[in-house]
Amino acid sequence: MIRILIADDQALIRAGFRALLDAEPDMEVVGEAGSGAEAVSESLRLAPDVVLMDIRMPGGDGLEATRRILESAPGGLRVVILTTFELDEYVTGAIRAGASGFLVKDTEPEELIRAVRAVHDGDAMLSPSVTRRLLERLAAERPAEAGRAPADVGLLTEREREVVALVGQGLNNAEIAARLVITPLTAKTHVSRAMTKLGLRDRAQLVVLAYESGLVRPGWLA
């Protein structure tokens, strides 16, 4: 059972998300929070598996709450950022805060459910459009660093570098498998090994590293 905490300052939105997620046989909404501070305290009290986190809330915004939660909570907890605004600074801020996903609130219900399952399984939920915006923002902030490969990339095999580059372009495991003519399980294994070698939390951080190491550039995204 996936235990979920919903953090949003609008009660109607919380109620809608709760009804949607509680209807799934493998999900349970264990709590709600209406502010950033409450999101932190409830996360520590309830120990959910996944937190759905609004960005604009009173009592500390969602990005600060995400940072505080992930600094204090067990390693298995994941945060998915939900916002009305698909703004660049929110995308990069969410990833740097440690979030495993970023979705706008007009996302289809099926996509939200898929995101919760994905991050619970240790994956990340970044759509190709969000991935593109993330890389473009990083390029604007640190253009001089593009192509500078961190020493840790040398720990990867040639195939693992190929896989990381494709993760950086927003491809999921099935798409990577099709591109490299391997099985989805093999693709997932390469991704997991790369994250372990590089000491990364999830695919969201792998996307950032793929750019910063020069394995992928913003202009390569379709």
Q: What DSSP assignment string belongs to 77-125?
A: -EEEEEES---HHHHHHHHHHT-SEEEETTS-HHHHHHHHHHHHTT--B
Model pLDDT, residue 199? 86
Bridge partner residues of 31 (DSSP): 5
Of 126, 124, 91, 122, nearest to 107 by C-alpha is 126
pLDDT band for position 146 (cuts 50, 70, 90): very low
Alpha carbon distance 5, 128 (integer Å): 26
Q: What is the pLDDT of residue 79?
A: 93
Burial of residue 172, with CB atoms counted within 10 A of its CB: 0-12 exposed, 13-18 middle, 19 or more buried: buried
pTM score of the predicted model: 0.75
Where exactly are the structural domains of the chain?
Answer: 2-125, 144-220
Which residues, including other chains, have CB under 8 Å from residue 210's CB and lie 6 or more apart?
164, 165, 167, 168, 169, 216
User: What confidence score (pLDDT) does residue 50 get?
Assistant: 96
The pLDDT confidence band at residue 141, using thresholds 50, 70 and 90, is low
pLDDT digits (tens, 9 = 90+) for 38-49: 999 999 999 999
**Is residue 7 within 8 Å of 52, Cβ to Cβ?**
yes
Pick the CATH number of 2-125 from 3.40.50.2300, 3.40.50.300, 3.10.129.10, 3.40.470.10: 3.40.50.2300
The CATH-assigned architecture of domain 144-220 is Orthogonal Bundle (1.10)
Decide whether 2-125 matches 144-220 in CATH topology.
no
| Averaged pLDDT, 173-190 | 93
98: pLDDT strictly greater than 50: yes
Return the pLDDT at 207.
80
